[in-house]
C-alpha cells in the first residue's frame, strides 16, 4: 500500500512515539520488530506531524531519530497531534460536510429519503457525481447518533434525523489549562481546535506529556468505571507478549505527578485481590456493556461498591500503587530517622508535604522519625534516598530490603570514590 | 471514541477551507495557506489532489464550494462528558462561577475516580476566595498587559512589594501550585500565587518596553546507567519532561544528558539520588561535587 500521512490503527504509532520520545537512541536497524518500510513510514508520519520536535543524531551505528520536547516551554502537548490523524475514506469526508449542511438548522428534521434527495442536489454539481446508497448514509447517521452529534427520532415507523444543539463555547483559558492537566486532556485539545488562535497564558512545570499516548485506553477505563462494569484487558508483558486478563473490575486511576505514569487499580477475580496495571502496558480494553449491551444488575452494583470501599480502606497503606511486597507478608513496616540543622527548617516542612501516609515523630535534637505500615515497603526506597546526607537510622521489617538499602548506599560511596564502598560499578 | 476522524486535523482544515470558500472562490495559493496553517507539513500532498480530482466533492475545480453554510459540528458526547468532568474539578472556580448544563450526559470521571498519589500536600488553596480573586486579577493582567502591584511573603516570612508586568502563569502538578512569572523595571520575578498577600492594578507609569525578564539559565547534567531491572526505562520516563538525549555506550551501558534550569539544581540532585547506585553522574564536576558532599554527610551519620 502506498504511503499515507494518516493512520487507521493508533497502536502502532503509539509504540513508535514512545520509542522516539522516551528512548530515542535506537538506530533504524534496531527496529527489528517491524519491517524497514514500516519504520520509514512511521518516522515520516511523525516528522510530518511533529515538525521541529523530531531530531536526528549521527552515531557509528547509523542515524538515530528522537523526539525532543522541553515540556516546560510548550504551552500545549505536541503529542496530541497524533490523535488527529485518523484516516477516512473520500466518501466519509464528503458525506460529513454535506450531511451537516443539509441539517444546518437545529430545528430541521428529515427522513432518510429527504436527506437522499438533498444529497443528490449537492453531488449533482460535480462532473462525475459520487453515488451513496441509502444504507451507507443510514450507517453514517447511526454512527453520528452514537457520537451524540445527530439526534434520531421515530415518528411512526419512520426515523427522522436532526443535528444536536450547539453548545455555548467554553472559555479558552479553561481549555488551555485543563487540556494539559486533566485526564484525557486530548479532548480539550479537540475543543481548542475549533477556537480561533488566541494568547495562551499557561506554562507547565514537571509536566509529563507521555500519558497523551494512552488517552484512548484511559477513556475506556473511565467509561467502564462510570458504568461499574467489568472489562477484559489485553496487556503487554515485559517480554513484549500480549495476554488477556478477563473480568477485571476497574476501580480507580492512580497518576504519578513525579513520573507521569498512570495506573489502573482493579479487582482481578483470578487473583481474588486488588492490583495495579500500568496504562502504557494496556493494549486494549473491552467493556462488557459495549460488547453485550448489558445493564448492570443491582447485586453487581453492590459488589462494585464493596470493592470500592475495600480499596478505600487499603489506600492509607499504599505508598505508590503496589498492594503486595516481595517479603510475602501482608503488611510491611518501615521507619527511618533524619537529622537537620536548626537553620534547615525546610526539612521538616518537606517531610510534612511529601509523606503520603504514615506518621512523623519530632524527636529531641532536631530529628524526625517517619514510620509507616505499607503493603510494599520497597516503594518508599526512592523517596528515602532523597534524604541521603541526613539519614541516621533505618529499619524495615523485611530485613533483606534493609540490607539492600544499606548496601546500595555503600555502592554509591564507591561510585564516587569515597572509601568504604563495595563494588565499583553502576547498578 | 478518542481516535476518530471527527477530531482530525483534516476535517478541521476542510472546515476552514469551506468557510473561506463560502465567502469567495479560493485560489490555489489561498488553499495552500489554509492547509499549511491548520494541517501537517505533508498534508498539502493529500488535500489538494483530493479536491482537484473531485474525490472530496465539496470544492469545485474553480474554487467554489457546494456547501452553503459555515461548517459547524455540535459537541460529541465524549466532549460533553469531559467538560462535565472538568467542571467538577475544584480548580474550575479559578476561571468561572458558571456551571455546565449538560443534563443529557454523565461526567467522564468524577474527582474521586482519580488520585494523583505523589503530589505534595501543601498545594494552593484553590477554593479560597482571596486566592481566586488574586488569580483572576493576575490572569486578566496577563491577557490585557497591565502591571500589577503585588505584596507577597518572602521565603523568610517578610512582606515584600513587587511591581511586575505579568507574563504567564506556570502550574506544577507535583507541587499543585501556580507561580506567576513577570518582568520588572530592575529584574524579572517569579511569585508563588499562594504567597500573595494582596494584589492590585499598578496605575503609575511603567516602562514595559524595557522591563527585565528572568533569564533562562540552562544547565546540563550527564550521567551513566546500566540497564538492569528495567533501569533505563525508569530513568528515561522519570526525566522525560526535560530536554534530554540518550546514547547507547555498549550492550548495557547508556549515557543520558538532561538539560534543566539552574534554579532547579537542588531538585535534580535529589531526583538523581533517588535512583541510588543505578546511575552515576559523570559531568559536570560541580554537580559531581554536590552529590559527593551529600554522600560524605551521609557517611558521617554512621547508618
* Number of other residues whose CB lies within 10 A of the CB of residue B195: 17
Search chain A and give the residue with CA nearest B140: A201
Domain A332-415 sits in CATH at 3.30.70
Higher pLDDT among residues A64 and A106, named by residue: A106
Size of interface A-B (CB pairs under 8 A): 383
Domain boundaries, chain A: 10-68, 90-163, 224-317, 332-415
Q: Looking at the complex, does the CB of residue A341 fall below 8 Å from at least one CB of chain B? A: no
Handedness of CA A377, A378, A383, A388 (dihedral sign): positive
As a whole number of angstroms, the distance between CA A1 and CA A87 comes to 14
Residues 272-311 (A) with a CB less than 8 A from some CB of B: none
Higher pLDDT among residues A174 and A60, named by residue: A174
Higher pLDDT among residues B51 and A62, named by residue: B51
Chain B residues whose beta carbon lies within 8 Å of the beta carbon of residue A412: 276-277, 295
Closest CA relative to residue A82, chosen from B42, B86, B40: B40
Res B303: pLDDT: 86
Res A296: pLDDT: 61
As a whole number of angstroms, the distance between CA B44 and CA B41 comes to 7
Q: Looking at the complex, does the CB of residue B270 fall below 8 Å from at least one CB of chain A? A: yes
Q: Is the pLDDT of residue A159 over 70?
A: yes
Cβ neighbourhood burial of B269 (10 Å; 0-12, 13-18, 19+): buried
Instruction: Over range A118-136, report the average pLDDT.
Output: 96
Q: How far is A72 from chain B (nearest CA, A)?
A: 8
Q: Is the pLDDT of residue A175 over 70?
A: yes
Single pTM value for the model: 0.94
Res A423: pLDDT: 47
Chain A residues whose beta carbon lies within 8 Å of the beta carbon of residue B91: 177-178, 181
With b for 16 or more beta-carbon neighbours within 10 A and e for fewer, the A339-378 pattern comes to bbeeeeeebeebbeebbbebeeeeeeebebebebbbbbbb
Residues 28-67 (A) with a CB less than 8 A from some CB of B: 44, 47-49, 51, 57, 59, 61, 66
Instruction: Over range A129-145, report the average pLDDT.
Output: 97
Q: With respect to residue B119, please indicate whether it lies within any of the assigned structural domains.
A: no
Chain A residues whose beta carbon lies within 8 Å of the beta carbon of residue B294: 388-389
Q: With respect to residue B17, please indicate whether it lies within any of the assigned structural domains.
A: yes
Asked if the Cβ–Cβ distance from B295 to A412 is below 8 Å, we say: yes
- Express as a percent the part of chain A with pLDDT over 90: 72
Q: Model confidence over A69-96: pLDDT tens digits?
A: 777 888 899 999 999 999 999 999 999 9
Q: How far is B298 from chain A (nearest CA, A)?
A: 4
Closest Cβ opposite residue A126 in set B57, B107, B279 = B57
Res A72: pLDDT: 80
Q: Are residues B225 and B296 in the same domain?
A: yes
Closest CA relative to residue B242, chosen from A337, A191, A207, A318: A207
Mean pLDDT, rounded, of chain A: 90
Instruction: Over range A172-182, report the average pLDDT.
Output: 97
Q: Is the pLDDT of residue B124 over 80?
A: yes
Closest Cβ opposite residue A86 in set B3, B243, B291 = B3
Res A292: pLDDT: 46
Instruction: Over range B159-187, report the average pLDDT.
Output: 93
As a whole number of angstroms, the distance between CA A359 and CA A364 comes to 16
* A370 bridge partner residues: A336, A360
Asked if the Cβ–Cβ distance from A84 to B7 is below 8 Å, we say: yes
Res B213: pLDDT: 81
According to DSSP, residue A84 is labeled: G
Choosing among A7, A41, A190, A351, which should be mutated to test the B contact, i.e. which has the most B CBs within 10 A? A190
SS3 state at A270: coil
Q: Are residues B134 and B159 in the same domain?
A: yes
Res A18: pLDDT: 82
Q: Are residues B1 and B55 in the same domain?
A: yes
Q: Looking at the complex, does the CB of residue B105 fall below 8 Å from at least one CB of chain A? A: yes
Q: With respect to residue B118, please indicate whether it lies within any of the assigned structural domains.
A: no
Q: With respect to residue B40, please indicate whether it lies within any of the assigned structural domains.
A: yes
Q: Domains in chain B: how many in total?
A: 4
Between A90-102 and A134-147, two packed helices, what is the crossing angle to 10 degrees? 70
Res A426: pLDDT: 59
Query: What domain range includes position B108?
Result: 77-113
Q: With respect to residue B166, please indicate whether it lies within any of the assigned structural domains.
A: yes
Chain A residues whose beta carbon lies within 8 Å of the beta carbon of residue B292: 416, 418
Closest Cβ opposite residue B277 in set A48, A127, A411 = A411
With b for 16 or more beta-carbon neighbours within 10 A and e for fewer, the B84-106 pattern comes to bbbbebebbbbbeeeebebeebe
Q: With respect to residue B284, please indicate whether it lies within any of the assigned structural domains.
A: yes
Kindly report which listed range (A55-59, B60-64, B72-76) carries the lowest average pLDDT score: A55-59
Task: Cite the beta strand spans of A201-356 per DSSP E.
Answer: 202-205, 231-236, 242-255, 262-268, 273-278, 282-287, 332-339
* B177 bridge partner residues: B172
Q: Are residues B252 and B194 in the same domain?
A: no
* B201 bridge partner residues: B148
Q: Are residues B62 and B83 in the same domain?
A: no
Chain B residues whose beta carbon lies within 8 Å of the beta carbon of residue A21: 240
Q: Kindly compute the dihedral angle of the four CA atoms of residues B50, B56, B61, B66, in this order, to the nearest 10 degrees.
A: -160
Asked if the Cβ–Cβ distance from B5 to A127 is below 8 Å, we say: no
Choosing among A40, A165, A178, A407, which should be mutated to test the B contact, i.e. which has the most B CBs within 10 A? A178
Q: Model confidence over A269-327: pLDDT tens digits?
A: 999 999 999 999 999 999 865 444 455 666 667 789 999 999 999 999 999 999 999 89
Q: Are residues B160 and B198 in the same domain?
A: yes
Asked if the Cβ–Cβ distance from A206 to B172 is below 8 Å, we say: yes
Q: With respect to residue B120, please indicate whether it lies within any of the assigned structural domains.
A: no
Q: Are residues B51 and B9 in the same domain?
A: yes
Q: What are phi and psi of A112, to 5 degrees?
A: -60, -35
Q: Looking at the complex, does the CB of residue B92 fall below 8 Å from at least one CB of chain A? A: yes
In this prediction, the answer to ipTM > 0.90 reads yes
Search chain A and give the residue with CA nearest B247: A25
Q: Is the pLDDT of residue B75 over 90?
A: yes
Q: Model confidence over B189-217: pLDDT tens digits?
A: 899 999 999 999 999 888 877 788 878 78
Nine cell digits for residue A20: 522516539
Q: What are phi and psi of A311, to 5 degrees?
A: -65, -40
Q: Are residues B264 and B222 in the same domain?
A: yes
Asked if the Cβ–Cβ distance from A201 to B139 is below 8 Å, we say: yes
Q: Is the pLDDT of residue A31 over 80?
A: no
In the CATH scheme, what architecture does the domain A90-163 have? Answer: Orthogonal Bundle (1.10)
Residue ending a domain, among B210, B226, B256, is: B210
Q: With respect to residue B45, please indicate whether it lies within any of the assigned structural domains.
A: yes
Q: How far is A259 from chain B (nearest CA, A)?
A: 5
Q: Is the pLDDT of residue A135 over 90?
A: yes
Range among A159-168, A230-239, B177-186, B212-221 rated most confident = A159-168
Res B101: pLDDT: 83
Task: Name, in order, each residue with C-beta under 8 angstroms of A268's C-beta and a sequence gap of 6 or more.
Answer: A245, A248, A249, A274, A275
Amino acid at each position: 500500500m502506498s504511503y499515507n500521512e494518516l493512520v487507521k490503527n493508533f497502536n502502532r504509532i503509539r509504540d513508535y512515539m514512545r520509542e522516539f520520545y522516551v528512548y530515542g537512541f535506537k538506530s533504524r536497524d534496531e527496529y527489528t520488530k517491524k519491517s524497514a518500510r514500516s519504520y520509514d513510514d512511521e518516522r515520516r508520519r511523525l516528522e510530518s506531524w511533529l515538525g521541529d520536535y523530531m531530531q536526528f543524531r549521527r552515531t557509528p551505528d547509523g542515524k538515530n531519530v528522537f523526539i525532543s520536547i522541553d515540556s516546560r516551554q510548550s504551552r500545549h502537548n505536541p503529542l496530541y497531534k497524533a490523535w488527529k490523524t485518523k484516516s477516512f475514506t473520500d466518501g466519509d469526508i464528503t458525506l460529513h460536510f454535506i450531511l451537516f449542511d443539509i441539517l444546518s438548522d437545529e430545528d430541521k428534521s428529515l427522513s432518510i429519503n429527504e436527506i437522499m434527495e438533498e444529497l443528490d442536489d449537492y453531488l449533482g454539481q460535480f462532473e462525475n457525481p459520487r453515488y451513496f446508497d441509502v444504507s451507507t448514509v443510514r450507517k453514517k447517521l447511526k454512527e453520528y447518533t452514537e457520537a451524540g452529534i445527530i439526534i434520531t427520532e421515530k415518528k411512526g415507523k419512520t426515523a427522522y434525523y436532526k443535528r444536536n444543539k450547539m453548545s455555548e463555547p467554553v472559555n479558552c483559558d479553561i481549555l488551555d489549562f485543563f487540556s494539559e492537566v486533566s485526564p484525557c486532556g486530548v479532548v480539550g485539545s479537540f475543543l481548542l481546535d475549533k477556537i480561533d488562535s488566541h494568547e495562551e497564558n499557561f506554562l507547565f512545570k514537571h509536566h509529563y506529556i507521555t500519558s497523551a499516548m494512552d488517552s484512548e485506553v484511559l477513556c475506556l477505563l473511565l467509561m467502564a468505571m462510570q458504568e461499574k462494569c467489568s472489562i477484559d484487558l489485553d496487556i503487554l508483558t515485559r517480554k513484549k507478549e500480549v495476554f488477556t486478563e478477563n473480568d477485571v473490575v476497574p476501580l480507580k486511576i492512580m497518576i504519578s505527578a513525579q513520573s507521569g505514569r498512570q495506573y489502573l487499580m482493579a479487582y482481578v477475580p483470578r487473583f481474588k485481590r486488588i492490583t495495579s496495571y500500568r496504562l502504557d502496558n494496556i493494549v486494549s480494553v473491552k467493556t462488557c456493556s459495549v460488547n453485550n449491551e448489558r445493564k448492570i444488575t443491582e447485586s453487581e452494583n453492590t459488589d462494585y461498591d464493596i470493592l470500592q470501599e475495600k480499596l478505600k480502606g487499603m489506600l492509607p497503606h499504599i505508598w505508590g500503587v503496589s498492594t503486595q511486597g516481595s517479603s510475602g507478608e501482608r503488611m510491611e513496616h518501615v521507619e527511618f530517622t533524619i537529622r537537620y540543622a536548626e537553620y534547615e527548617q525546610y526539612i521538616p516542612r518537606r517531610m510534612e508535604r511529601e509523606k503520603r501516609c504514615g506518621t512523623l515523630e519530632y524527636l529531641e535534637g532536631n530529628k524526625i522519625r517517619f514510620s509507616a505500615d505499607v503493603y510494599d515497603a520497597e516503594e518508599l526506597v526512592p523517596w528515602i534516598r532523597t534524604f541521603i546526607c541526613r539519614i541516621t537510622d533505618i529499619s524495615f521489617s523485611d530485613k533483606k530490603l534493609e540490607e539492600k538499602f544499606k548496601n546500595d548506599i555503600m555502592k554509591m560511596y564507591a561510585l564516587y570514590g569515597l572509601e568504604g564502598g563495595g563494588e565499583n560499578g553502576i547498578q | 471514541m478518542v481516535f476518530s476522524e471527527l477530531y482530525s486535523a483534516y476535517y478541521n482544515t476542510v472546515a476552514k477551507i469551506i468557510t473561506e470558500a463560502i465567502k469567495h472562490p479560493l485560489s490555489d495559493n489561498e488553499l495552500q495557506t489554509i492547509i499549511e496553517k491548520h494541517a501537517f507539513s505533508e498534508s498539502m500532498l493529500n488535500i489538494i489532489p483530493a479536491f482537484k480530482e473531485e474525490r472530496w466533492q465539496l470544492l469545485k475545480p474553480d474554487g467554489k464550494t457546494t456547501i452553503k453554510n459555515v461548517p459547524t459540528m455540535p459537541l460529541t458526547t465524549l466532549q460533553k462528558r469531559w467538560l462535565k468532568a472538568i467542571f467538577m474539578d475544584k480548580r474550575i472556580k479559578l476561571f468561572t462561577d458558571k456551571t455546565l448544563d449538560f443534563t443529557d450526559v454523565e461526567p467522564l470521571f468524577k474527582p474521586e475516580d482519580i488520585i494523583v498519589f505523589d503530589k505534595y500536600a501543601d498545594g494552593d488553596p484553590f477554593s479560597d476566595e482571596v486566592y481566586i480573586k488574586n488569580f483572576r486579577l493576575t490572569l486578566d493582567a496577563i491577557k490585557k498587559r497591565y502591571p500589577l502591584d503585588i505584596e507577597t511573603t518572602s521565603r523568610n516570612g517578610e512582606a515584600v512589594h513587587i511591581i511586575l508586568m505579568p507574563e504567564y502563569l506556570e502550574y506544577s502538578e507535583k507541587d499543585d501550585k501556580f507561580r506567576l512569572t513577570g518582568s520588572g523595571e530592575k529584574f524579572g520575578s517569579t511569585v508563588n500565587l499562594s504567597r500573595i498577600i494582596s494584589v492590585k492594578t499598578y496605575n503609575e507609569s511603567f516602562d514595559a518596553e524595557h522591563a527585565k525578564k528572568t533569564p533562562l539559565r540552562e544547565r546540563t547534567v550527564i550521567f551513566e546507567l546500566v540497564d538492569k531491572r528495567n533501569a533505563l526505562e525508569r530513568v528515561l520516563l522519570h526525566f522525560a519532561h526535560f530536554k534530554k538525549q540518550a546514547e547507547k555506550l555498549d550492550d548495557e551501558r547508556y549515557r543520558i544528558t538532561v538539560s534543566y534550569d539552574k534554579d532547579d539544581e537542588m531538585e535534580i540532585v535529589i531526583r538523581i539520588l533517588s535512583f541510588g547506585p543505578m546511575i552515576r553522574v559523570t559531568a559536570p564536576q560541580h554537580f559531581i561535587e554536590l552529590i559527593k558532599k551529600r554522600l560524605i554527610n551521609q557517611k558521617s551519620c554512621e547508618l
